[in-house]
Amino acid sequence: MKFFVDTANVDEIRELADMGMLDGVTTNPSLINKAGHDFIETITEICKVVDGPVSAEVASTDYETMMKEGEKLAQIASNVCVKVPLTPAGLKVGKQLVDNGQDINVTLCFSAAQALLAAKIGATYISPFVGRLDDIGQEGMSLVSDIVDIYERYDHIHTQVLAASVRGPQHVVQAALAGSHVVTVPPKVLHQMFNHPLTKSGLDQFVADWKATGQSIL
């Protein structure tokens, strides 16, 4: 399963990329606003840091404006993946971009029926929002499982499932078990995945035992 990081903070992205943890990046208007920097400049810089796909989202809702925005975003770098909402206008824009050879990420997916529409236009990624479904009492990860199961039934569907709105390490594990092709996580969650009390206590013991030998490898 590929790991994307869900942030527009270039420093965080660079740190995780240096660790070899990243296959790509996802952003959205909320994350861009949080970062507090120029949108185009931020996406341009991220694309230089990460070799994999960088999702950059259109900010309008009507077809004509979204189409212009999508075309502009696609020109930033070869690894830009234009992100469009799962609306009739969004899918119309997505279809046009796909026909032009552009990778797209269809976002804000909350049902398997919606995921079928994204696959129909040849979307590169479909982003089911797990955490937001959990927030309203539904099982978000069940949606990921359903989409993976449906897509695998048809050889002509090449859309990858990108589990989004991830809230913790367990969501990452569940996404992997469900067969999600990609998971996108906030940097905090990716760092949490390193942590286990037995890892820390074991390392503390090894360090203490090594110190007691009085030896040095260097």
H-only helix segments in 75-123? 88-99, 112-120
Out of 2, 34, 83, 200, the active site residue is 83
CA angle 14, 17, 18 (to 5 degrees): 85
Task: Tell me how far apart the alpha carbons of residues 195 and 179 are, in angstroms, rounded to a whole number.
Answer: 24
Region for residue 5 given its phi and psi (left: phi exceeds 0; alpha: psi -120 to 50; beta: otherwise):
beta
Report the distance separating Cα 165 and Cα 132, nearest Å. 7
Return the DSSP state at 194.
Answer: T
83 is catalytic: yes
**Residue 18, Ramachandran bin (φ over 0: left; ψ between -120 and 50: alpha; else beta):** alpha
The angle formed by the CA atoms of residues 156, 159 and 165, to the nearest 5 degrees, is: 155
Radius of gyration of the chain (CA): 20
Backbone angles phi, psi at 66, to 5 degrees: -60, -40
| 34: enclosing H helix or E strand | helix 29-35
Tell me the catalytic residues: 83
